[in-house]
């Protein structure tokens, strides 16, 4: 049945009938099923590549008491670049 527009152009409450209970339950059921499916897909990682395995144990042993070279956690050689000459604070203010 076709509805006719009202003369005043304003929608009234009876123009929009309430959604039946069965349809509301269907919508709620579909929403819950969708949420459960998404959560399970995130947990199961369907179609995703396998997670990388942790690296194997290192070949070098940990440092013994007093040892500082040739072991894990030992001292490393660091090369530092010498700093340039100091610039006086008044040199930057002249610009």
Average pLDDT, the chain: 78
Residue 73 belongs to a domain:
no
Residue 23 belongs to a domain:
yes
Instruction: Please tell me the predicted confidence (pLDDT) of residue 31.
Output: 98
Beta carbons of 71 and 60 less than 8 angstroms apart: yes
Give the number of domains in the chain: 1
pTM: 0.40
Nearest to residue 73, comparing CAs of 84, 82, 64? 64
Residue 85 belongs to a domain:
no
Residue 31 belongs to a domain:
yes
More confident residue, 6 or 90: 90
Residue 1 belongs to a domain:
no
For range 71-90, the mean pLDDT? 76
Domain that holds residue 32: 17-46
Query: What confidence tier does 60 reach under pLDDT thresholds 50, 70, 90?
Result: low
Report pLDDT digits (tens) over 25-54: 999 999 999 999 999 988 887 778 888 888
Residue 36 belongs to a domain:
yes
Residue 33 belongs to a domain:
yes
CA angle 87, 78, 73 (to 5 degrees): 140
């Amino acid at each position: 049945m076709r509805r006719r527009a009202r003369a005043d152009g304003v929608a009234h409450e009876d123009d929009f009938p309430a959604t039946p209970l069965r349809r509301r339950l269907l919508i709620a059921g579909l929403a819950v099923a969708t949420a459960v499916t998404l959560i399970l897909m995130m947990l199961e990682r369907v179609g995703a590549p396998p997670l990388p395995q942790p690296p194997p144990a290192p070949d070098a042993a940990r440092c013994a008491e007093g040892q500082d070279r040739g072991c894990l956690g030992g001292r490393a050689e660091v090369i530092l670049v010498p700093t340039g000459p100091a610039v006086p604070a008044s040199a930057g203010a002249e610009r």
